[in-house]
Amino acid sequence: MKVGIYGGTFDPVHRGHIDPVLAAVGQLGLAEAIYLPTARPPHKAGRPLAPARRRYEMVELAVAGEAHLRVSGFELREDGPAYTIETIEHFRGADPKVDLHLLLGTDSFLELHIFRRWRDIVSAVTFAVLGRSAAPLEPSPGSAAWVARTQGRVVEIDHPPVDVSSTEVRRYLSRGDRPPTGWVPEAVVDYALKHQLYS
Ligand code: ATP
């Protein structure tokens, strides 16, 4: 069974986190894609994040009604950073026959070298890369992303880029404004404004 796993801060979740994933589900025949909101991302020090439980609940609202999308709290633990390889080993342990696909945007994929034990990740999953721009995916020769591609572990999902980022969405919400229609599910906007997550 093919399963997608998709980690991120989702601060907040937006259409760029959803539409390309739905395309991946269809193109790869994933039984499900599992969102993993991360309490303490290893690579994003600095900016304070909205509380992890709130980010989790926004993802729940965003995927409600999508039959193949679900959310897991596995990366919500606060006792240390959530490393992708540990998440992979957890899901592999739960079902050794599972065919894991790691979903990630181009920017994250090109930074594969900063992931802890990236070679083990390359051996364990297929990378399903969600394009963030129309530019072709060009890992530099010798880089971790290049190694993954050379080993035939990479699939590029065919989907038009969704030009939305959490950073831009937060700009609107921090002023108490709604982002442009279509950027973020309305229930997520309502939730973020109600709980004043970014103001
Ligand atoms: P920020 O805008 O604050 O940098 P982000 O959306 O890049 O936030 P995360 O929520 O951690 O940060 O992203 C989770 C995953 O979603 C990452 O793999 C990222 O590359 C991917 N992603 C984010 N936005 C898009 C988009 N518009 N299209 C495709 N993938 C995306």
Residues 6+ apart with CB under 8 A from 56: 37, 71, 73, 76
Question: Does position 66 have pLDDT exceeding 80, yes or no?
Answer: yes
- Read off the pLDDT of residues 144-159 as tens digits, 9 standing for 90 and up: 999 999 999 999 999 9
Choose the residue to mutate in 5, 9, 84, 164 for probing ligand 1, maximizing ligand atoms within 8 Å of C-beta.
Answer: 9
Query: What's the pLDDT band for 78 if we cut at 50, 70, 90?
Result: confident
Whether the CB of 50 sits within 6 Å of ligand 1: no
Question: Does position 43 have pLDDT exceeding 80, yes or no?
Answer: no
Closest listed residue to residue 131, CA positions, set 152, 103, 166: 103
Whether the CB of 12 sits within 6 Å of ligand 1: no
Query: Environment class of residue 178 by beta-carbon count within 10 Å: exposed (0-12), middle (13-18) or buried (19+)?
Result: middle
Question: Does position 39 have pLDDT exceeding 90, yes or no?
Answer: yes
Mean pLDDT of 60-88: 95
- In this structure, which residue's CA is closest to atom 31 in ligand 1? 105
Model-wide pTM > 0.85: yes
Residue 41 or residue 94, greater confidence: 94
Query: What span, in angstroms and rounded, lies between the C-alpha atoms of 100 and 54?
Result: 27
